[in-house]
């Protein structure tokens, strides 16, 4: 962390003078008011921190934990809860067959292939594929109460929110990277593992929604003039009128 100019804490919105130095090298200023708030976000932020990851936002390959969880649960039937209160959940394999168009026999090999680390970022198509795989596991895991979400799979958690907001296959807007970094805060402070270690994260939830909502109200890309409006509408369905993260009864 380095003290440079002032900004708004990514986690709580308070004035902040510390910023993530690695992300600064990537050309984006992400500020924190304290080391504690940086630590709270770190597990979710780490895969998207620094050059080649933070700006533009770049989805990482599947981790070893991603692979193990996905292959273990590949054909497990879903629970009864709907994905963000709107879509019936599927087994991970059924989700992939539908959204990737691959035969069931090819799924394990595809998952392993997309976990291989390289020195270069994944192509856009491969990023979309790893997001579909993570979303497949996320929607299955969250069809149960309590969720079957394994610990330390924060990339899957943020992918679930991004999928619900249609930010995986949507247009590459000028505000996409900043939007996803803001969304990562919500993903972090609703993750069971982070809530268990940082009880103070829970009261930050509604404030993080307010800041995301305000950001969407002013976001605009002339090349995609309807993108922010459409994302704002999806936001309303998820956080203001649909479960499981709606404002009215979260926690």
Query: Please, which pLDDT band fits residue 149 given cuts at 50, 70 and 90?
Result: low
Which tens digit of pLDDT belongs to each residue from 12-47?
999 999 999 999 999 999 999 999 999 999 999 999
pLDDT surpassing 80 at residue 242: no
pLDDT surpassing 80 at residue 250: no
Average pLDDT rounded to a whole number, residues 77-92: 88
pTM: 0.90
pLDDT surpassing 90 at residue 193: no
Query: Please, which pLDDT band fits residue 165 given cuts at 50, 70 and 90?
Result: very high
C-alpha Rg value of the chain to the nearest Å: 18
Query: Please, which pLDDT band fits residue 213 given cuts at 50, 70 and 90?
Result: very high
Q: Are 66 and 155 in contact (CB under 8 A)?
A: yes
């Amino acid at each position: 962390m380095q003290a440079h100019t002032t900004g708004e804490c990514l986690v709580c919105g308070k004035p902040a003078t510390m910023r993530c130095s690695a992300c600064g090298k990537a050309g984006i200023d992400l500020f924190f008011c304290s080391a504690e708030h940086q630590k709270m976000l770190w597990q979710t932020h780490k895969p998207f921190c620094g050059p080649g990851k933070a700006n533009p936002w770049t989805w990482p390959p599947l981790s070893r934990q991603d692979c193990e969880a996905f292959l273990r649960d590949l054909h497990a039937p879903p629970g009864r809860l709907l994905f963000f209160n709107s879509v019936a959940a599927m087994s991970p394999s059924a989700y992939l067959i539908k959204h990737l168009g691959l035969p069931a026999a090819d799924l394990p090999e595809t998952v392993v292939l997309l976990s291989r680390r390289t020195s270069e970022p994944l192509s856009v198509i491969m990023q979309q594929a790893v997001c579909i795989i993570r979303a497949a596991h996320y929607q299955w895991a969250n069809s149960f109460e309590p969720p079957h979400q394994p610990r330390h799979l924060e990339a899957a958690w943020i992918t679930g929110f991004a999928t619900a907001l249609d930010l995986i296959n949507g247009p590459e807007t000028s505000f996409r990277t900043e939007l996803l970094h803001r969304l990562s805060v919500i993903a972090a402070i609703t993750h069971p593992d982070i809530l268990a270690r940082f009880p103070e994260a829970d009261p930050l939830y509604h404030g993080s929604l307010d800041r995301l909502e305000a950001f969407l109200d002013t976001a605009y890309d002339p090349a995609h003039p309807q993108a922010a409006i459409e994302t704002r509408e999806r936001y309303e369905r998820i956080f203001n009128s649909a479960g499981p993260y709606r404002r009215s009864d979260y926690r």
